[in-house]
Structure 1
């Protein structure tokens, strides 16, 4: 015979579990801020103690003032706009081509046998190593930047997409054949749902590579953009502006990766919960 005291305790179990889950989710951003805040305090202390001259390590106060000046003048938004346009164009081209080639290599092993050796050799050359050659054909205009960014995103997307297709269990394709799925149905109902996680890993990694390639190519051949702001501040010896540009580059890259992570989580939830896609 069950104890009467257990009966009223059951309805409270679910709210308590939800409360604990909410506390964990709410505490995660706070924990993520602890390390940056600690670095900021160490930076402020080192500047106040004058461990290095101000010309080498400016105080966070000076960096904050430089950020306000850049925002009020509109220069920051202009540089972010140029960088965002370049990375969007280059990453869009590179990721689209990478998904297509990776899908084809994963589905047709014969094609992979022909393409893989050459592709592997090309991928071993660093992205910046292509700049001198491409400058001869493309100059130093926007086309060069977009091609370099596209190449940086192309490699990881191809590799992860091909690996994702190859890792799909063969039983999935056998079921698709039994159900007489068309090629489009196999792609939409079998391949994409099963490969969404590793494919998005490649897309996120490709975006990271594209962003770093963007900053590097803007350091070498640009008159606008965050990379140009970084090198221009160094040349003018405005280290407060240079540090601010580095912070902005890191924040923008983090926000782009976070946005893709949210899209991936929604797709994963749709894949695991059939009713979510209904």
Structure 2
């Protein structure tokens, strides 16, 4: 077998098994340890793998975080369905925190005009909710992140500490065994406080976020009460959520028979 063929086969093995050892390469392809090492060096040079002691793993997927306007243009039907379900569990009299993610914005866009209080640091969400005559909006003041259109900083975190709410709806860049992660530390610091101030924390994340680890961890899995997503995760991930007490609602399923605590 030529090296190019082996390299393709090694990558195919990694996609299913997540890691491969020098010994496995030798056994699978009947090559020497020196040949196996050269194969891994070549794949590392091509940025296709990360070499580990005695083998290799695939690099973590990286997602470019576009600015807010560009992300809004990419809001999918899946995110709209997640937002619709989230909006349906906002009830009259609720005190709610909404973060700055585009999936949470999909929730705000589909909210009924109910008498409730919304606390947010997103100038976009505040503008959207102006149309709801019965909704009281508390916009958190702080430093403006112009590119992503949210307010952040110590003043936002301090003001949040005075509120106690029924539900917090938050988005993420990724959710994995490492926890819930976002792309920017300043955003993550605010989200940490939002999560602390809520009786129920509801994470809105489409299937592309599952298994992804972003830059800054804003929550451990056991801090999330409910995940609303659009596709059923694999059993391993469902077991991970279950072990941390996270309920899951999948919008692609029929709602009949689903259990949702609110």
TM range (shorter): under 0.3
Report the structure number with the largest CA radius of gyration: 1
Q: What TM-score do the two structures reach when normalised by structure 1?
A: 0.23
Greater relative contact order: 1 or 2 (C-alpha under 8 angstroms, separation 6 or more)? 1
Is the helix fraction higher in 1 or 2?
Answer: 1
Is the strand fraction higher in 1 or 2?
Answer: 2
